[in-house]
Chain A
Amino acid sequence: MDHIAVLSPPPLRPAAASVLAPDWLHRSGEATVLAALPRAVYLHAGEWSEVLCVLDADALRLPNSVVVPSVGIGTGRPVSTGLIPGDAVTVSAGRIELPSARLEVRRTFRPASIRVGAAVGIDGEAVRALRAELRPGLPGLADAAADVLAALDTPGSTDGLAASTRALVGRGPGLTPSGDDVLAGVLLGLRAAGRIRASATLAEAVAAHLRATTSLSASLLRAAGDGWCLPEVRALLDGLRSGGAVPGSTTSGSPVAHSLKLLDRIGHSSGHDLATGLLAVLTADRGRPSTASAPIRSAHHRERTLHA
């Protein structure tokens, strides 16, 4: 680790870990800094997709994260202070030693998730209106999403699914390539539409290609496969379901404008790419609840719940 001049030991700060935090958080060892951003540090250790995002209070709330809440009026030093990619950070039994603070996990939380069947009652008009305003990061993404859905709908088309998936994983620049964001959107969309089996099939297909993309993106894809998402994405669905009226919101302006505002908060184009995938499912399906009997809680969902 690069040393920075430290006049006193960094303060101890309580932190909350999501249930998706990788196991290595609770063991002893070192993690590598993948990225040090203004309000977040991405750490990696163990398997390719075992990434932990250490977030300041006002950062985008990625699902596989440890969050450091603000302290009174001030927010303390940003978690990324004194870190650059490639640095090693000591982790032991729920404690993370950063130059700016010694974090101690005191609580676990369940990140935002898409409920199975959450798209029931969604306003088709609102979906179409929003879809027309999306600005995906790459051309042709909506078509690629459609290809994936077509492959899922064609029984026995494992090759077709593999091909259409492979065409998206890792495609595009940035820490979370556009193709990955679209796939994540499709996974979440399938879940919202109640198509659990399709979602599981796609997740499996995606899992085969995780090494074709960044560790961070791989971790987010896995999370999406289980229905975990950003609060903004869930808010987007809530907004679409209530015809654009966002409960408790004081912003005036069209529902589409409000949805776009949510998406603009997510990365450079990631929000729009996610929505491209999500809405591809909803416009194909329009929230028809699954005819297959899907248990409300899948087996690995409960697993996530108990191992808090």
Chain B
Amino acid sequence: MPDFVDVRTGVYFDSVSLMQVSQTVKRTPGISDALIGMGTPLNLELMVSTGFAVPDEAGPNDLVVALRGEDDAALDAGRSGLDAALAELRSAASRSADLTGDSPALTIGSAAQRTDANLAVISVPGEYAAVDSLDAIRANCSVMLFSDNVDVAAEVALKDAAAAADVLVMGPDCGTAVVSGAALGFANRVRAGRFGVVAASGTGAQQVMCLLEAAGEGVSHVLGTGGRDLSAEVGGRSAAQALRALAADESTERVIVVSKPADPGVLAELERLAADLGVPVTWAALGPGLPDLTCAVEQALRLADAPVPEWPSKLAEAGAPAAGPLRGLFCGGTLADEAMVIAAEALGPIPSNIPLAGAPRISGQETVDGHAVLDFGADEMTQGRAHPMIDPSLRLERIRAESRTAGVLLLDLVLGYGSHPDPAPELAAAIRDARAQAAAAGRELPVVVSVIGAAGDPQGMEHTVSALHRAGASVFSSNARAVRHALELLAHRAPADIPQAGAAGASAGSVGSPPGASEGAPGGSATATPLETFVTPRPEPTGAAPLRGLLADEPVVVSAGVSLFAEALAEQAVAVTEVPWQPPAGDVEALVRVLADPRREQANAIALERMLAAGADLVALRPASECLGLRPGEFLHAGPPLEWARASGPMRGALAGAAVFEGLADSLPEAEEKLAAGDFTFEPCHSRDAVGPMAGVVSPSMWMFELRDPAHDTTAYCSLNEGLGKVLRYGANNDEVLTRLRWMRDVLGPVLAEAVAAHGPIDIRAYISQMVQMGDEGHNRNRSATLMFLRDVVPHIARSGRDPDDIAEVCRFIGANDHFALNLVMPACKLATLAARGVPGSTLVTTMARNGTDFGIQVSGTGDTWYTGPAQVAEGLFLGSFGPDDANPDIGDSAITETAGVGGFAMATAPAIVRLVGGGVPFALRTTRRMYEITLGEHPAHQIPILEFRGVPTGIDVTKVLRTGVLPQINTGMAGRVAGVGQVGAGLVNPPEECFTEAIRSLADAVEAPSFRTSEAPSAAEPVG
């Protein structure tokens, strides 16, 4: 097979780029081998061993190309491919690339910080909602929590946390709000005005808003509280906060509180609060014996000295009296409730799929006889389909079906943001059909519709009302009026408004007396004349605005979950950032437990601070027997604990080689036997505060770098780097390896020990700060630090008085090995992570390490416990003829660099590294930016110039990894599967997810408080205090 070997002087590309070029050329059909590299002795050796004839004059500054093809044609193709690839490398350098490498915020908290948001809209599935809500609260955002299926305990915990942070939780199950002119969720476009609304009911709030609009008034803000807020368990926590905020809000003069029947004790508390705040409140709480929502609004208008209008309506032509049952088909649950409350007066308890107390329950799917009111938004009706306000098809079917049996059809139609963009035509058609079918059977079927909408709604109020009216329906803007009209049509006298609106101010449910007080006293007397209660003027608001100014400021929103919320906000010119949400990995309950742990934030802050403050001074070199107490027969290795039976090729090769090196066996097979038999013991380097690259095997005679952290008075250790090619750490263990190890023991170690002693402590942390500004990331690129070290020790080595040949060899050895400083960077990073170890409640990752079989992590809050999963095989480029099948799973303690924020995390500062897996500079930038999403902070000293000197992302947070699905990015060398082969390539790898999912369970177990209650929340004891 023909060969081609070429030497090109003065062509410089770094080895990583060249690896990529050779990969490209190797893929050319007919090319069986392609080795392209600078003419370093190692590269030339590789070429020679592959059978190429390399010219003698090739040197390290020359580009050497060796190609082998099946025939001449293939070889020519290979050469053209090579030229093209080299040209591409050159031009990519000169092309101005997109240097933003932007990466979106992956969590609510991260997005909130970037945009200075004050409000988060969360509509993710209920079981995950607490995770994102807590994140929002910690980022000082109020929350509109649309999600339902959030349990009471979680709701209380969230609201306590919110109160402590002075933000508001609107929800769970809150779909309607208006904050500073921005309509959130399902809300109508109502003019700005002087009424504030606190609502435990969405459609209830919408009815109230729309009536106010129709009366010529408007709303300042509509604050949702979630449907359960006014229950005894939740105690009105959000309602109280909302009341306080509205009382302090300049544009709010009066408040209407809307809810379904609520706990009397809670209402009484709120009543007291309202009186203290001096803000006039009208209570619109639905329930038997209580006024309907329209009545409550009329009351509020009267108290505000505003005229009460004739609520707009459009009656259909009067037909024959109706005969048959009332059939209410509703989309809004509260509107259905209101209908049942009013109708029950005349018709008795109404069967329903959401029956009031004492009424029979029926299924929404079944056909019924007699009166019925159905809520099509109830859970059973929305399985596998959207809410009827968005997807009306189920109700439309039912309308047509009812033509046979219904006496009067009573419907609601809720317009506004979030609802179906134009429901009128289809609804009108269904109404028309139903009436026509009834007429065909000789019956009159009156249809009564309440349209809850405002003139400015996107659907077009006029258009909607006309369409329905033309179809033969009577249309009302007030749901209560609609219900009464329906009852009249059934030839029943409309029950008196309870209480009658005309009564001179004294009425149950009026301002100043909670509805509960008047239960059992229909048309009852007020406990106080309403107007008197508010002679005390509202105190001038002083101090900072409540809820961090939520009601005074522009809303700046972050959103996770259903896109339509973010879209609707963007349509309203509200600044909104949507977060690409995905369900968190692992046990969600454990995650929530850990997130709610009151210790966590401060624990992480402490752990991070210590990590960032840790120094690293090289103070000495000593043999492992001395500084690590390693005895004969004892060895250390990289990664988590390992048994011989499960050890991979390189690990076994390294251990066997070390045993022979120590003289404990005469041959490698003997060494392996003894190791398998358990004659020797081996444990993780980490167990003795040491680290080792690749197999990382340490034996008693090996010299160790000893580094000390002056800030925390701790020490970490690492062996000396043997160089590239056939080395022990890759599992090679032939004579060459052993000879070198002996030389390192007898010459290198002692010489360096003396030099370092003579020099004094060397600041390795400062090396790292400099190297990241020189295009090195500390894991796969260490040349600059190696040369910095050489610069520091050479004068002392030269003066050592040792044999000149030894001196020369030591200097040459260090200088020729670009990775020599890796063994200084690693223990420096180890010191940083050691400083953060053992802070109870902290979720910061303190170790990432691999032993060639398993990947293990340790977390600050759980000390030395290992969480392991299978080590992955890296993806990248291969040397020579190697391929993925030749690679061993991930191995080495060098991932300690990423754990401390450099290595793969600092890829943006070492863009050349990206040529390992294709992609360009933007990929490097994006990767580092992504790592910011899973870390707790940034390093003050290790800064990345191209990111405008932003500190490297430091302090991996287990909870953020699980929430974002982003695993830490590691750059690594690849060892050959077979012991002794050496390095086969380099690439990118991640830890397995299992490490983190295991860790979160353990962290959850370690959370102290058994329940969710946050002990620091001041309002924990007093819900409305």
Query: A-side interface residues toward B, CB under 8 Å?
Result: 13-16, 19, 57, 61, 67-73, 105-110, 112-113, 115-117, 120-121, 231, 238, 241-242, 247-248, 289, 296-297, 301, 305-306, 308
- Which residue of the partner chain, among B140, B181, B577, contacts A248 with CB atoms under 8 Å? B140
* Alpha-carbon separation in the docked complex, A71 to B571 (Å): 10
Q: Could you say which of A71, A109, A289, A308 contacts B570, with CB atoms under 8 Å apart?
A: A71
Given contacts A109-B554, A110-B251, contact A296 B538 (CB under 8 A): yes
A-B contact pairs, 11 of them (CB 8 A): A14-B572, A15-B573, A110-B251, A115-B541, A241-B543, A242-B544, A296-B540, A305-B192, A305-B251, A306-B192, A306-B194
Cβ–Cβ < 8 Å partners of A109 in chain B: 180-181, 554
Q: Is the CB of B573 within 8 A of A107?
A: yes
- Whether B576 pairs with A69 at a CB distance below 8 angstroms is yes
Given A115-B250, A305-B251, the answer on whether A70 and B575 have CB atoms closer than 8 Å is: yes
Complex: how many Å from CA A112 to CA B102?
A: 32
Q: How far is the CA of A115 from the CA of B571 in the complex (A)?
A: 30
How many angstroms from the CA of A297 to the CA of B182 in the assembled complex? 23
A248 to B165, CA, bound (A): 10
Q: Which residue on A lies nearest to B566, using beta carbons?
A: A72
- CB neighbours (8 Å) of B553 from chain A are 112, 231
Closest residue of B by beta carbon distance from A105? B573
Top 4 A-B pairs, shortest CB-CB distance:
A308-B192, A14-B573, A16-B573, A69-B575
B571 close to A106 (CB less than 8 A): yes
Encode B535-566 as 1/0 by CB contact (under 8 A) with A: 00010111110001000111000000000000
- Cβ-defined contact, B571 with A73, below 8 A: no
Query: Does any Cβ of A come within 8 Å of B59's Cβ?
Result: no
**With A108-B192, A109-B180, A305-B192 in contact, do A116 and B540 touch (Cβ < 8 Å)?**
yes
B745 beta carbon closer than 8 Å to chain A:
no
Q: Interface majority SS on A: helix, strand, loop or mixed?
A: loop
A106 touches B572 (CB 8 A): yes
- What is the 8 Å Cβ interface bit string for chain B, positions 649-664, against chain A (1 contact, 0 not)? 0000000000000000
Residues on the B chain within 8 Å of A296, using CB: 250, 538, 540
B180 and A68 contacting across the interface, CB-CB below 8 Å: no
| B residues in contact (CB < 8 Å) with A | 102, 104, 140, 180-182, 191-194, 218, 250-251, 538, 540-544, 548, 552-554, 570-578
Q: How many angstroms from the CA of A276 to the CA of B576 in the assembled complex?
A: 36
Q: How far is the CA of A237 from the CA of B155 in the complex (A)?
A: 35
Could you tell me the distance between the alpha carbons of A11 and B576 in the complex, rounded to whole angstroms? 19
B574 contact from A13, A69, A112, A248, Cβ within 8 A: A69
Contact B572 A16 (CB under 8 A): yes
Contacts of A16 in B (CB 8 A): 181, 554, 572-574
Q: Does the CB pair A238–B544 fall under 8 Å?
A: yes
Closest-by-CB residue of A relative to B540 is A117
* Residues on the B chain within 8 Å of A121, using CB: 542-543
Chain B residues with Cβ under 8 A from A241's Cβ?
Answer: 543-544
Q: How far is the CB of A60 from chain B (nearest CB, A)?
A: 13
Once the chains are docked, how many angstroms separate the CA of A308 from the CA of B299? 25
Question: Do the beta carbons of B570 and A69 come within 8 Å of each other?
Answer: yes
Inter-chain contacts of B574 with A (CB < 8 A)? 16, 69, 107
Question: Which residues of B sit under 8 angstroms from A67, Cβ to Cβ?
Answer: 554, 573
> How long is the Cα–Cα vector from A107 to B555 in the complex, in angstroms?
12
Instruction: Please pick, from A14, A305, A308, the residue contacting B571 in the complex, using a CB distance under 8 A.
Output: A14
**In the bound complex, do residue B542 and residue A107 qualify as a contact, i.e. CB atoms below 8 Å apart?**
no
Docked CA distance A231–B556 (Å): 14
- A112 contacts which chain B residues (CB < 8 A)? 552-553
Give the shortest distance, in Å, between B107 (CB) and chain A (any CB).
16
In the bound complex, CA of A112 to CA of B104 (Å)? 29
Residue of B nearest to A18 (CB): B554
**Residues from chain A with Cβ under 8 Å of B575 in the complex:** 57, 69-70
- Taking A72-B578, A73-B102, A247-B548 as known contacts, 13 extra A-B pairs with beta carbons closer than 8 A to each other, sorted by chain A number, are A14-B573, A15-B573, A16-B572, A67-B554, A109-B181, A112-B553, A116-B540, A117-B541, A117-B542, A297-B250, A305-B194, A306-B192, A306-B218
Report Cα–Cα, A242/B194, bound state, in Å: 30
Please indicate the chain B residues that have their CB under 8 angstroms from the CB of A115 in the complex. 250, 541
User: Which residues of the partner chain A approach B181 to less than 8 Å between Cβ atoms?
Assistant: 16, 107-110, 308
Once bound together, how far apart are the Cα atoms of A300 and B854, in whole Å? 72
CA distance A306 to B180 in the complex (A): 13
- B192 → chain A, closest Cβ, in Å? 4
Are A308 and B102 touching (Cβ within 8 A)?
no
Residues of B within 8 A of A68 (CB): 573
> What is the bound-complex CA distance between A242 and B548, given in angstroms?
13
The answer, among B182, B193, B250, B251, for a CB contact under 8 Å with A107, is: B182
Q: Quick one: closest A residue to B180, CB to CB?
A: A109
Instruction: Please give, as numbers and ranges, the residues of chain B lying within 8 Å of A105 by CB-CB distance.
Output: 573
Bound form: Cα–Cα A114–B574 in Å: 23
The CA of A16 and the CA of B543, in the complex, are separated in Å by 29
Q: Give A121 to B544 CA distance when docked, in angstroms.
A: 10
B573 contacts which chain A residues (CB < 8 A)?
Answer: 13-16, 67-69, 105-107
Q: Which residues of B contact A14 (CB under 8 A)?
A: 570-573
CB-CB < 8 A to A289: which residues of B? 540
Choice from B104, B182, B218 contacting A73 with Cβ under 8 Å: B104
Q: Which residues of B contact A15 (CB under 8 A)?
A: 573
How far apart sit A41 and B548, CA to CA, in the bound complex (Å)? 31
Expressed in whole angstroms, the Cα–Cα distance for A250 and B542 within the complex equals 24
Q: Chain B contacts of A61 at CB under 8 A? A: 554
Query: How far does the Cβ of B108 sit from chain A's closest Cβ, in whole Å?
Result: 16
User: CB-nearest residue of chain B relative to A69?
Assistant: B575
Which A residue's beta carbon lies closest to that of B104?
A73
Q: State in angstroms the CA–CA spacing of A242 and B166 once bound together.
A: 16
The complex places the Cα of A126 from the Cα of B511 at a distance, in Å, of 44
A70: B residues at CB distance < 8 A: 575
- CB of A86 to closest CB in B, whole Å: 28
| Minimum distance in angstroms from A92 CB to a CB of chain B | 18
The answer for the CA separation of A306 and B576 in the assembled complex, in Å, is: 26
Residues of A within 8 A of B218 (CB): 306, 308
Report chain B residues within 8 Å CB of A108: 181, 192
Q: Considering only CB atoms, which chain A residue lies closest to B541 in the complex?
A: A115
B540 with A308: CB separation less than 8 A? no
**Residue on A with the closest CB to B191?**
A308
Q: Which residues of chain A are within 8 angstroms of B182 by Cβ–Cβ distance? A: 107
Complex Cα distance, B193 from A153, in Å, reads: 36
Q: Complex: how many Å from CA A69 to CA B540?
A: 34
Give the docked Cα–Cα distance between A64 and B497 (Å): 47
Q: Shortest distance in angstroms between B162's beta carbon and chain A's nearest beta carbon?
A: 14
Question: Smallest CB–CB gap between B935 and chain A, Å?
Answer: 16
> Distance (Å) between the CB of B407 and the closest chain A CB?
44
Q: Given the complex, which residues of A lie within 8 Å of B180, measured CB to CB? A: 109-110
- Most A-side CB within 10 Å, residue of B251, B538, B543, B572: B251
**Least CB distance, A104 to chain B, in whole angstroms:** 8
Enumerate chain B residues within 8 angstroms of A72, measured Cβ to Cβ.
577-578
Q: How many whole Å from B252's CB to the nearest CB in chain A?
A: 10
B50 to chain A, nearest CB (A): 48
With CB as the reference atom, state the residue of chain B lying closest to A304: B251
Query: How far, in Å, is A140 (CB) from chain B's closest CB?
Result: 34
Give the shortest distance, in Å, between A101 (CB) and chain B (any CB): 12
CA gap between A14 and B140 in the complex, in Å: 27
CA–CA, A109 and B193, complex, Å:
12
Closest A residue to B577 using CB positions: A72
Contacts of B541 in A (CB 8 A): 115, 117
**A13 CA to B571 CA, complexed, in Å:** 8
Shortest C-beta distance, A19 to chain B (Å), equals 8
* Closest partner residue, chain B, to A116 (CB atom): B540
Partner of A306, one of B193, B538, B554, B577: B193
Quote the shortest CB–CB distance from B888 to chain A (angstroms).
40
A-chain residues with CB within 8 Å of residue B544 when the two chains form the complex:
238, 241-242, 247
B46 CB to nearest chain A CB (Å): 45
How many Å lie between the Cα of A108 and that of B548 in the bound state? 21
A-chain residues with CB within 8 Å of residue B577 when the two chains form the complex: 72
**Chain A residues whose C-beta falls within 8 Å of the C-beta of B250 in the assembled complex:** 113, 115, 296-297, 301
CB nearest to A194 among chain B residues: B540
Q: For B251, list chain A residues within 8 Å (CB).
A: 110, 305
